[in-house]
Amino acid sequence: MTTTPMQLTHHCRNCDAHHPLHRVRQCIPADNTPEGEVEVMVCPTCGSYDLEQLLEAGHAE
Ligand SMILES: [Zn+2]
């Protein structure tokens, strides 16, 4: 198994914060899906769902 370094791959359009995937990914119960839950992206800072995935990670500002 390889360990990937923590990358800030998600950007919150609401509060302009950057977060790694594991910080924004959450599973919430959903009765209308076969799995019984659905994966959503939520900003851990402001709770917004308006997250943008950054395809090119690796270059810090
Ligand atoms: Zn936010």
pLDDT of residue 4: 63
Q: Ligand 1: distance of its center to the CA of 34 in Å?
A: 29
What is the token pair recorded at 43? 């900003």
| Beta strands, E only, 1-61 | 10-12, 18-19, 25-29, 37-41, 51-53
List pLDDT tens digits, range 6-19. Answer: 789 999 999 999 99
Q: Where are the domains of the chain?
A: 10-53
> 31 alpha carbon to ligand 1 midpoint, in Å?
27
Between the CA of 33 and the centroid of ligand 1 the distance, in Å, is 27
pTM for this model (two decimals): 0.69
In the reported structure, the alpha carbon of residue 61 is separated from the centroid of ligand 1 by a whole-number distance in angstroms of 19
Q: What is the mean pLDDT of residues 33-50?
A: 95
